Structure 1
Amino acid sequence: MDDILTRAGMTDCKSLSTPAAVTKSATPTTDPYENPTQYRRLAGALQYLTITRPDLSYAVNRLCQFMHTPTDEHWAMLKRVLHYVKGTITHGLRLSVSSSSDVHAYSDSDWAGCPMDRKSTSGYAVFLGSNLVSWVSRKQRTAARSSTEAEYKGLADVAAEVTWVMSLLGELGLQSRNPATLWCDNLGATYMCANPVFHARTKHVEIDYHFIRDKVSTGEFLVNFVSTKDQLADIFTKPLASARFSSLRDKLNVVSPPPSA
């Protein structure tokens, strides 16, 4: 983090409480940034930082969507991320002993959140016991016709990730006997995973998204509803206000170590 700030000439910059502004969305402008190579280098460096800083995933994913032709607005967005990094330079992902080896995951989608192509942004967080072990924030490949469809596609993505995690745990002899639990804050999407009646409404959805229904029918996965206020994956799909962002960051175990005695 110190190296990234040094390369950007921002070692003495002020800190900010969030990496992305709530009130302003990324839109194309006609003012290209004068040093696109610098933008690409710093955005690429921030990608490596997300390996241990899931709280940066949404903001960095958004920055990387403009690598080809960054503008002054995109540079301002990148600088905001660096201001946030400056204020959280001691933060990292905490891993601790857990009494449970159950796998559970949170999935969320921001329907038509991109103002340019109206594609949705999906995010998920996969936990092994109390520890966060996998996460992602990314734009969906195709536009969704409803919020339920966007959430359903997000569930399919996290189902694929959880399938891999459980397979790896099985090879290590650590697999839990309990089915993995997926938490979603859209009732329509949870019903769609188990109720074939809804299939008529999703004929246009690509076949590869429907494999989650097979996982549910065989008992490998449980898909449950969670209220939006308890949806941890919310941090991966949209900019959030400071209080909400800090609360979710703590629940993802991204913390600053206590001062040494």
Structure 2
Amino acid sequence: MDDCVPVAIPMEVNLKLSSEDPSPLVDSTKYKKLVGMLIYLTTTRFDICFAVGVLSRFTNMPHENHWKQGMRVLRYLKGTLNYGITYGHGEILAGYCDSDWVGDYDARRPVSGYCFSLGSGIISWNSKKQATVALSSIEAEYKAACVAACEAVWMRRILADLGVPIHDATVLNCDSQSCMAIAKNPVFHARTKHIEIHYQYIRELIEDGVIELEYCPTNENGADIFTKALGSVQHSGHLFQLGLGPRQ
């Protein structure tokens, strides 16, 4: 792939990969090696987290279309070899959370994503398929917000141990006003009885002043890059927002 033609985004928009792909099977050992190397890269290149997460679902029986998508990620990396996360001084912990309701077309489960920063480039991020099926997009967003809130609590404790205590509430940006209403208003409790108990933890954090949910439009939600494939304009915009770009 040394002489490959670079591409602007790691995955095509609206691409639906499935284990029932009609294309021929490929060597699973070779495919696993490719996915393993890409997973290693996600420790510093958060922009490929979603694409690599999708590819890792097909390691048992990879098809040719899955392999081609892996090659596309390499083509994207070819054009962004000089990209890195820029960090500056900051002590304000803030984050974004988002969810794609049916991100996994085989299991029909949502894909959640979150990221946190201390005023510059992001220091923590995650893109993961949820453990259970969500009955609505609001439920998927609510679960994603709770997982992000748990990460925020963990990071506040780590920062306190490092001598950087966070006294103010950690702002968690979310693009679902319905999710925010459920998390803040106990009146909606009857409508969320089907949601697992541990996901209600976010309500306690909001009441205790540990977490503060704020609304942000989808095009300004940096966690969107961890839940779905985006177009080149949105993709590059979120990279700039989260501190990833060409190293000076």
TM-score, normalising length: structure 1? 0.92
Equivalent positions of 1:154-169 (< 5 A) are 154-169=144-159
The residue number in structure 1 matching 2:31 is 39
Equivalent positions of 1:1-261 (< 5 A) are 10-27=1-18, 28-98=20-90, 101-258=91-248
SS at match of 1:143: coil
**Which amino acid in the other structure matches residue 128 of structure 1?**
L
Q: RMSD value over aligned CA atoms? A: 1.1
The whole-number CA distance in structure 1 between the counterparts of 2:214 and 2:169 is 12
The whole-number CA distance in structure 1 between the counterparts of 2:111 and 2:239 is 19
TM-score, normalising length: structure 2? 0.96
**Which amino acid in the other structure matches residue 239 of structure 2?**
R
Unmatched segments (≥5 aa) in structure 1? 1-9
Are 2:26 and 2:67, in contact at CA under 8 Å, matched by a contact in 1? Answer: no
Deviation of 1:30 after TM superposition, in Å, equals: 4.2
Are 1:46 and 1:60, in contact at CA under 8 Å, matched by a contact in 2? Answer: yes
SS at match of 2:59: coil
Q: Deviations over 1:61-81 (max 9, x none)?
A: 111111111111110111110
The whole-number CA distance in structure 1 between the counterparts of 2:168 and 2:194 is 33
Unmatched segments (≥5 aa) in structure 2? none
The whole-number CA distance in structure 2 between the counterparts of 1:198 and 1:12 is 56
The whole-number CA distance in structure 1 between the counterparts of 2:117 and 2:123 is 6
Q: Deviations over 1:171-225 (max 9, x none)?
A: 1110122111111000111111111111111111111111111101111110111
**Seq. identity, %:** 38
Deviation of 1:32 after TM superposition, in Å, equals: 4.7
Are 1:193 and 1:213, in contact at CA under 8 Å, matched by a contact in 2? Answer: yes
Deviation of 1:132 after TM superposition, in Å, equals: 0.7
Are 2:31 and 2:62, in contact at CA under 8 Å, matched by a contact in 1? Answer: yes
**Runs of at least 4 residues off by over 4 Å:** none
